Amino acid sequence: MTDLDTQHVRTTTFRARYSETDQMGVVYHANYLVWCEIGRTDYLRDLGMTYAQMERDGLFLAVADASLRFHAAARYDDRIRVDTWIESVRSRAVTFAYRVVRLQDDAGEVKLATATTTLVARDAEGRACKLPDTIRDLLVRAGTDAP
């Protein structure tokens, strides 16, 4: 993981949905990948480019690998915060990192999970391609934005 002190971190908050729980009474583990994607969507929006527009422009970011570590369970209606930052940028790929926490009523927080996902650039035909310079530069600047 990178040093958060020198990184831009974007946060997004929402409540855990009933549909996201399973019979163990907690949020089903695969849904954390969905939550990471919400964090990623909001991260890119904050940089001034939406992923929706990127796809309309013919650039697709496909998940190439993902790893998750689970520390505590989320429950229905919990207030969840996803912190998203960029871990690395290469010519054809970008790696995002995530920390998922539960917000407590006492203003404290409990770490639920950490994760990383690496996304590779694809064109409209699904072929691997380079990240366009403008997008790559934005991501690099966001990922190394030291004070």
Residue ranges in contact with a second copy by CB under 8 A: 14-15, 17-19, 21-26, 28-31, 33-34, 37-38, 41, 50-52, 55, 60, 62-70, 73, 75-77, 126
Record the tokens describing residue 5, joined without a space: 């002190």
Residue 15 Cβ vs a second copy, minimum distance, rounded to whole Å: 8
Q: Which of 3, 5, 22, 145 is labelled catalytic?
A: 22
Beta carbons of 49 and 59 less than 8 angstroms apart: no
Beta carbons of 38 and 51 less than 8 angstroms apart: no
Identify which of residues 33 and 140 has a Cβ nearer to a second copy in the complex.
33
137 is a catalytic site residue: no
Task: Tell me how far apart the alpha carbons of residues 14 and 18 are, in angstroms, rounded to a whole number.
Answer: 13
Task: Tell me how far apart the alpha carbons of residues 133 and 89 are, in angstroms, rounded to a whole number.
Answer: 12
Identify which of residues 15 and 111 has a Cβ nearer to a second copy in the complex.
15
Identify which of residues 29 and 92 has a Cβ nearer to a second copy in the complex.
29
Helices (H), the chain: 31-46, 51-56, 133-143
Active site residues: 22
